[in-house]
Structure 1
């Protein structure tokens, strides 16, 4: 009888240990999932053409919870629904402005390099129009026309190397 009781106690202890192991593994899984979500970036394209805005131009804005690390950026001009890559990881800004007949006076751009980080709540202005330019009205009209014919594709990742893609194209309504 003593031997049977020892077997029951040992079996119960082993069962409790297995249950504890399962709970610990599950808790680790849930904790890791939560940690990944708590640092997930979310990039949006911000287009500003109003003179009341802090700037006039295009920017990438990180509205997520974590830092976004840029992996690739391509800006294409759409002609008859065919995309022609003009800017590929910072080369081609002159060509982009020339493709839309935008004079480079009064317009500036900032490169967005691969591995560049955009912290949560920040934005990176990559194309800006000088508000004091004498050709401000013309530049804003050309910016609107350019936005209507652009396809922007940005690949970025979180701190956990989870990749996401922002693909933006103006939809005609």
Structure 2
């Protein structure tokens, strides 16, 4: 059974994960409209992964006897100056999410909820990967700069990313 404090925090995280999904869907729409289908694909898959994350929290709250409370999703940005700008925002956002996950781990420890702490380990590891991936694309885009062929090549590379649902 979840404490009320932890249940509220997990519900807030569900909302944060759905907001993340909405942000990445907005990025996908931006790049699709900008003629960059590979970038659009990459962000659309991010959207799907964030939905998976939200559902992982959603199902966990229910499994532990809690009540899920969905809240409205706040507005997200609609456009970015460049692919570099979008990936820099992605990294900043993922760093915020890492902080939220770390806060949940701290709360689980404080509440002596070892099951929740164990479940959150997956998210701790996931955030390391999310930040490293975003930083890798930032580094590549900084090397490419405004080189059209470089952007075109990266766009083609990003088209090959395929969605893989997370294991429950």
TM-score normalised by structure 1 residue count: 0.25
TM-score normalised by structure 2 residue count: 0.25
Query: Which structure has the larger Rg over C-alpha atoms?
Result: 1
